[in-house]
């Protein structure tokens, strides 16, 4: 089976979902990822509630193929262990506020002297420098600064918070993994390590290219285009069905719009392609009434063989049962001795050679601590002493 990052070792010093998703991508591609967890609480994202009475389902999904080690990086003995480990690792990922790793004595300059070819990645909300660098923040704040939140909802009304944390998943997850893989590729060619600064706000601003370009065009005096991709057009919108569910119509191209109009027996609407969606407008209300005349299932059946862009709006519980996603192993299952059979979201890119992305289930808290320490030469008695003292 295919494991393109096999042989790459990653130290994951992050917490919570965004960065779990980054190292999930790396581990799915074959890297060996070791989670460094604070001995008392572990990764905050591990637990399903604040009392830590049960484990998060998302944690089991986002941490397959990884190992877990308890290690107190505030303790001098913990730092000593960490520095011993760094020699056998290719990548370090951390998500603390700027300056924290330096204060711990584990910043890039320090570790680079120990291992010059290390790929050291700092993934944060605002980056390592700039006026906002040390501010606290969450996905909603990064969405706000990037302009994305200002593009959601009705274009003249209150912003709507997206249903997923886009900055967390795209910035803390995908772009952080992309930067790491690019740095590893560069190291193969030059032999040199890299320091990576990956802020979610920068990633979101990059993702907002289309709307920022539109703002620049208006600044130059060019005529603004309609907000077709933000629900301003009839042909690109969501509509409630008779059973209170929704359908998503995305017939931006004339041929798909024409096919839709013919399928619903409304050929007189063909000339209304890109017509605005306006509450109270006669055409808009007729459109809403059309969709309200059938259940979601009836709409699905109607367009089964129609070449147009119309799909149901599924709830996550329904996505789990979608036949297309199951056929592609996007929704799959994995045997887990501790948790039983768990549902997993598969690696989204398919390679010509099958990717081995289901190697091991998410680790229990500190599951590999003793294994790692024994590999470093620590005796059972010294490990016991470290455990008693709260170092591990």
Q: DSSP code of 207?
A: H
Take residue 32 and report the two structure tokens written for it: 């060996």
168 in catalytic set: yes
C-alpha pair distances (Å), 68 with each of 34, 164, 372: 6, 27, 10
Which one is catalytic: 12, 43, 90, 168?
168
Residue 167, judged by CB atoms within 10 A of its CB (0-12, 13-18, 19+), counts as buried
Under 8 Å CB-to-CB from 176, ≥6 apart: which residues?
18, 19, 22, 93, 121, 123, 196, 198
Under 8 Å CB-to-CB from 271, ≥6 apart: which residues?
none
Q: For residues 186-209, b (16+ Cβ closer than 10 Å) or e, as one string? A: ebeeeeebbbbbbbbbbbbbebbe
DSSP for 212-225 reads HHHHHHHHTTPPPP
Q: What are phi and psi of 127, to 5 degrees?
A: 95, 180
Which residues are catalytically annotated? Answer: 168
């Amino acid at each position: 089976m295919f494991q393109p990052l096999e042989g790459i070792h990653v130290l994951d010093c992050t917490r919570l979902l965004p960065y779990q998703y980054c190292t999930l991508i790396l581990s799915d591609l074959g890297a060996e990822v070791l989670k460094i967890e604070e001995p008392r609480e572990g990764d905050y994202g591990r637990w399903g509630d604040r009392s830590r009475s049960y484990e998060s389902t998302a944690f089991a999904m986002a941490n397959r193929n990884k190992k877990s080690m308890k290690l107190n990086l505030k303790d001098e003995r913990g730092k000593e262990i960490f520095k011993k480990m760094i020699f056998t690792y290719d990548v370090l990922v951390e998500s603390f506020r700027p300056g924290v790793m330096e204060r711990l004595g584990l910043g890039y300059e320090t570790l680079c002297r120990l291992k010059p070819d290390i790929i050291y990645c700092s993934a944060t909300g605002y980056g390592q420098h700039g006026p906002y660098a040390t501010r606290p923040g969450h996905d909603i704040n990064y969405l706000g600064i990037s302009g994305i939140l200002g593009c959601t909802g009705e274009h003249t009304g209150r912003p709507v918070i997206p249903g997923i944390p886009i900055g967390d998943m795209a910035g803390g997850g995908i772009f952080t993994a992309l930067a790491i893989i690019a740095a590893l590729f560069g190291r193969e060619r030059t032999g040199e390590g890299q320091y990576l600064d990956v802020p979610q706000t920068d990633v979101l601003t990059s993702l907002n290219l289309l709307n920022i370009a539109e703002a620049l065009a208006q600044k130059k005096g060019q005529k603004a285009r309609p907000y077709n991709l933000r629900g301003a057009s009839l042909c690109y919108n969501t509509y409630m069905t008779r059973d209170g569910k929704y359908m998503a119509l995305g017939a931006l191209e004339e041929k798909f719009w024409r096919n839709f109009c013919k399928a619903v027996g409304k050929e007189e609407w063909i000339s209304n392609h890109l017509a605005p969606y306006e509450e109270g407008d006669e055409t808009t209300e007729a459109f809403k009434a059309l969709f309200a005349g059938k259940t979601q299932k009836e709409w699905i059946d109607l367009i089964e063989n129609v070449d147009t862009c119309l799909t149901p709006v599924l709830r996550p519980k329904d996505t789990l049962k979608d036949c297309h996603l199951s056929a592609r192993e996007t929704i799959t299952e994995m045997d887990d001795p501790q948790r039983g059979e768990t549902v997993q979201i598969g690696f989204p890119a398919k390679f010509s050679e099958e990717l081995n992305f289901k190697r091991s289930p998410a680790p229990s808290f500190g599951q590999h601590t003793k294994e790692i320490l024994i590999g470093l030469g620590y005796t059972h008695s010294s490990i016991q002493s470290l455990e008693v003292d709260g170092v591990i």
